[in-house]
Homo-oligomer: A and B are copies of this chain.
Amino acid sequence: MKASFFKYINTLQDQITTALENLDGSVKFIEDQWSRPEGGGGKTRVIQNGTVFEKGGVNISGVHGPLPKSMQDYFGVGEAQFYACGLSLVLHPKNPMVPTTHANFRYFELYDAQGNIQDQWFGGGLDLTPYYLFDEDAQHFHQVCKTACDQHDPSFYTTYKERCDTYFWNSHRGEARGIGGLFFDYLRPNTEKTAQQWYDFTTGIGDVFLDAYLPIVERRKNLEYNASHRDWQEIRRGRYVEFNLIHDKGTLFGLKTNGRIESILMSLPPKVQWAYDHQPRLNSQEARLIDVLKNPRNWI
């Protein structure tokens, strides 16, 4: 299972970075390979200062060894060996009319003293963070998510869409980070699904990431924008930073377990603003976005 999923994320990284390079047209991803002293490593691919993508990363990693103390405490287990691999991506487009996106697909194994699998689970999801909200983009993104979920279980879309809204919640602002998508975690073999079925589900969602996101980029990347649109984008990116550094378990986890800092923090946007008590104009596009973020919506 782990070899199979690791191969999957390697192939997915290639597919996604190739598609994004073709779409951008002007710059390529640079790749940094790194290894972890305790076991394993990763391939970080970063794109910067493109025509379409101002900054983005599509990273994979596969790490193993003794479970770090902080993760023992987090999972409520004692000393154990573990294996974890995953793909994680964040794309920050230049044009404020194009939304930021994030996706993650991961697999985890915990072993007993004999080296047998004691626990295993899949996790992941994808979500969209617009600066200017086009309803048809949100609907498209969620429809692709729903169609992919429905092939595995009729309850999945509703369940994981709600988990996404709950997880990506900037509680100190009382608003969502974006307009959501899917978020799932601890997908363990149980009476209803086998590990293989969770594998099929997780990779099934990975397979539709480009279908969910690329048509939106194509539609919006040539729209005109001015300095005021850009200011708004940079102010909203500040909220993205706030979520990732204050609330995101993945980010804080990486920082606490001696992860590769530059690979973890590649998620942070390239240019960001914080203005004191910024308020959008009444009835503006900007105010409408905030309203939707404060009251997550059903898009299907």
Contact = CB atoms under 8 A, between A and B. Distances in A.
B272 A271 contact: yes
Contacts of A48: 275-276
A173 interface: yes
Interface string A229-267: 000001000100110011000001001000001100110
A276 B262 contact: yes
A291 interface: no
Contact of A274 (B242, B270, B274): B270
A268 interface: yes
A276 B57 contact: yes
A94 interface: no
A147 interface: no
A77 B207 CA distance: 52
A86 B103 CA distance: 42
Interface residues of A, number: 29
Nearest to A32: B277
Contacts of A246: 245-246, 252, 255
A265 to B, nearest CB: 7
B55 A268 contact: no
A276 B266 CA distance: 6
**Total copies of this chain within the assembly:** 2
Given A245-B241, A255-B172, A273 B270 contact: yes
Contact of A271 (B173, B242, B255, B273): B273
Contacts of A178: none
A46 interface: yes
A101 B276 CA distance: 18
Contacts of A55: 274-276
A269 interface: yes
Contacts of A255: 172, 246
Interface in A188-207: none
Nearest to A260: B277
A208 B238 CA distance: 33
A22 B252 CA distance: 42
Contacts of A242: 245, 265
A294 B24 CA distance: 38
Nearest to A92: B274
Contacts of A271: 234, 271-273
Contact of A272 (B46, B173, B273): B273
5 contacts: A172-B261, A234-B271, A241-B241, A270-B274, A270-B275
Interface of A: 32, 46, 48, 55, 57, 172-173, 234, 238, 241-242, 245-246, 252, 255, 261-262, 265-266, 268-277
Given A245-B245, A262-B276, 18 more contacts: A48-B275, A48-B276, A55-B275, A55-B276, A172-B261, A238-B268, A241-B241, A241-B245, A241-B272, A245-B246, A262-B277, A265-B274, A266-B276, A268-B274, A270-B273, A271-B271, A271-B273, A272-B274
